[in-house]
Amino acid sequence: MPDISTFFICWTLFFPYFYLQLFADLHKLPSTFAFYTISSWPSAASSIFGRTIPNLLADMFGVINVFIVVTFSTCALLFTLVGINGVGGVAIFAIIYGFFSGAVLSLAAPLMASFASNDSDIGTRIGVAYFVNSFTFLTGPPISGTLLGSQINWDKPAIFGGVHFIFFGR
């Protein structure tokens, strides 16, 4: 089950990574801000913390429990993307989403390892999971772009991503 969950979660995880600059441009935010969303938006600092702190918490509370909290938080953030306006809102979204998306990515491998029947199966389980997930990383952003459509409707890809997180993030 965690293999299927991470497949669908990773399918929509990178939507904001690819389209936040377009979001900033179309919401008439300053062009200098929109230009720098590509290089700074995952907010290296928040992503670093997102890749370390939840892993420390997973040691205390269990990988599955922390993964559930992190995926539901990421889901909530995808739904809030629809209502964001202004530089402050985009910047705060970028920092928080950078934290939680980094946590999802870093907790995926320990989650797979926790379901291995013995230690010799861990490498195989993680390898197969990342092989399968590589197709989601490849196809997810174009699917989100298709959902945006020519009218640039942000509701469709945000809801698509949020629903995937709700149903498969548990």
Q: Does the pLDDT of residue 142 top 70, yes or no?
A: yes
Asked if 21 and 34 touch (Cβ cutoff 8 Å), the reply is yes
pLDDT digits (tens, 9 = 90+) for 57-99: 999 999 999 998 998 898 888 888 888 888 888 888 888 988 9
- Extract the tokens encoding 93: 């979204």
User: What is the model's pLDDT at position 54?
Assistant: 96
pLDDT digits (tens, 9 = 90+) for 20-56: 878 887 878 787 777 766 666 556 678 889 999 999 9
pLDDT at res. 169: 52
Report the alpha-carbon distance of residue 95 to residue 117 in Å, rounded.
37
Q: What CATH number should be reported for the domain whose range is 2-168?
A: 1.20.1250.20
User: Which SS3 state, helix, strand or coil, does residue 146 take?
Assistant: helix
The pLDDT, as a whole number, for residue 41 is 55
103-132 pLDDT, tens per residue?
998 998 898 888 888 889 899 888 888 888
Rounded to whole angstroms, the Cα distance separating 49 from 97 reads 12
Question: Between 110 and 161, where is the model more confident?
Answer: 110
Count CA atoms closer than 13 A to 58's CA, side-chain side.
23
Q: What is the CA radius of gyration of the chain?
A: 16
d(C-alpha 86, C-alpha 76), whole Å: 19
Of 27, 144, 31, nearest to 84 (Cα)?
Answer: 27
Residue pointed to by tokens 């964001």: 84
| Amino acid type, 144 | S
Q: What is the pLDDT of residue 2?
A: 54
